[in-house]
């Protein structure tokens, strides 16, 4: 048995293509949608994410505004740069790239991103709307996962979903989105007892814990749908050879680059035991970008077509 790959790149393109006529309508009637991206400092991973987001904006015809304060920016300095964006009628969405440097009060900063521009769906009002299943931007990664499940026509209602990880960015909003689709939801975390037993009960298993290949075959019920949100870089040669012995191309890539990307689930176990699964890379990652663009367009429609 080998699971069917859930192709995040394919779903990404479907979503982006559906956005193009909506963007064209906005541009013809008023103006293009506009997304402001705030990147503090020089975090390499954040820089890669932001470049990808800005590139996608340009490809779609969404106006991109980039704010790049230095690493030593204070909380108050950052707020003073966000306030004009929050008051600008030509800005539809504001994205503050996480994580912020340690000296910055993230919660205080995010309180200045008003709900009508909270493109990431992380603000208090957006999360409250999610709890009540009301109209508001949804956190991009969980929203993308839900979109993928629906487009692959994977049943959700009455299924048992187990989510490993309780972050405000993925775990909690994912649980609520699945709950609104009538799944029975279990959230697991670092203090969950008998974690493997809980995971094996899942029809839909979502791994979002940030630990490389932590979920092994003992955690996966044969036939489960496995969604791997993890993005972990590993450099130990023996570990890479163990995890990717079945993928010679990945071993060649490791020899060239010195690192390999692996999710939170053992890739071989996931492929062999699941009915459907998301590869890493190429699974969940492209969906996050697609849903960010979808949220930006939705906010622009809310602002401009009322």
Q: What is the CATH number of the domain that holds 98?
A: 3.40.50.10860
Check 7, 92, 118, 120 and give the catalytic one.
120
Check 7, 97, 159, 203 and give the catalytic one.
97
- What is this structure's pTM? 0.95
From CA 5, how far away is CA 92, in angstroms rounded? 35
Q: What is the pLDDT of residues 88-119, one digit of tens each?
A: 999 999 999 998 999 999 999 999 998 899 99
Position 180 in a domain: yes
Running DSSP on this structure, what letter comes out for residue 181?
T
Check 53, 159, 172, 271 and give the catalytic one.
53
Check residue 1 and give its pLDDT. 61
Is position 306 annotated as part of the catalytic site? no
Residue 231 has pLDDT above 70, yes or no: yes
pLDDT mean across residues, the chain: 95
Is the domain of 165 the same as that of 257?
Answer: yes
Is position 53 annotated as part of the catalytic site? yes
Check residue 46 and give its pLDDT. 87
Q: What domain range includes position 168?
A: 140-285
From CA 286, how far away is CA 140, in angstroms rounded? 10
Position 247 in a domain: yes
Tokens of 31: 């103006």
Is position 237 annotated as part of the catalytic site? no
Q: What is the pLDDT of residues 177-196, one digit of tens each?
A: 999 999 999 999 999 999 99
Is the domain of 244 the same as that of 209?
Answer: yes
| Number of domains present in the structure of the chain | 2
Check residue 224 and give its pLDDT. 98
Q: What is the pLDDT of residues 112-162, one digit of tens each?
A: 998 899 999 988 899 999 999 999 999 999 999 999 999 999 999 999 999
Which sign, positive or negative, has the C-alpha torsion 209, 288, 179, 2? negative
């Amino acid at each position: 048995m080998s699971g069917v790959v859930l192709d995040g790149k394919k779903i990404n393109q479907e979503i982006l293509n559906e956005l193009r006529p909506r963007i064209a309508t906005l541009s013809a009637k008023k103006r293009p949608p506009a997304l402001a991206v705030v990147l503090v400092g020089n975090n390499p991973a954040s820089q890669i994410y932001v470049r990808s987001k800005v590139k996608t904006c340009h490809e779609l015809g969404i106006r991109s505004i980039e704010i790049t304060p230095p690493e030593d920016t204070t909380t108050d300095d950052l707020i003073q740069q966000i306030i004009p964006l929050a008051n600008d009628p030509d800005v539809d969405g504001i994205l503050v790239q996480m994580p912020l440097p340690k000296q910055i009060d993230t919660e205080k900063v995010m309180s200045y991103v008003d709900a009508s521009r909270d493109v990431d769906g992380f603000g208090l009002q957006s999360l409250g709307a999610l709890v009540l299943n009301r109209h508001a931007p949804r956190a991009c990664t969980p929203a993308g996962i839900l979109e993928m499940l629906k487009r692959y026509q994977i049943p959700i209602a009455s299924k048992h979903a187990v989510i490993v990880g309780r972050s405000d960015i993925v775990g909690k909003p994912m649980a609520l989105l699945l709950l609104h689709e009538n799944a029975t939801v279990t959230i697991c975390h670092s203090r969950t007892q008998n974690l493997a037993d809980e995971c094996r009960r899942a029809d839909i298993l979502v791994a979002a814990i940030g630990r490389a290949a932590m979920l092994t075959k003992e955690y996966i019920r044969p036939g489960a749908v496995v969604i791997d949100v993890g993005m972990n870089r590993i450099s130990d040669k023996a570990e890479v050879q163990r995890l990717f012995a079945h993928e010679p191309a990945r071993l060649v890539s490791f020899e060239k680059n010195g690192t390999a990307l692996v999710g939170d689930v053992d890739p071989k176990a996931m492929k062999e035991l699941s009915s459907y699964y998301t590869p890493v890379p190429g699974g969940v990652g492209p969906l996050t970008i697609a849903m960010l663009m979808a949220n930006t367009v939705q906010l622009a429609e809310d602002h401009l077509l009322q």
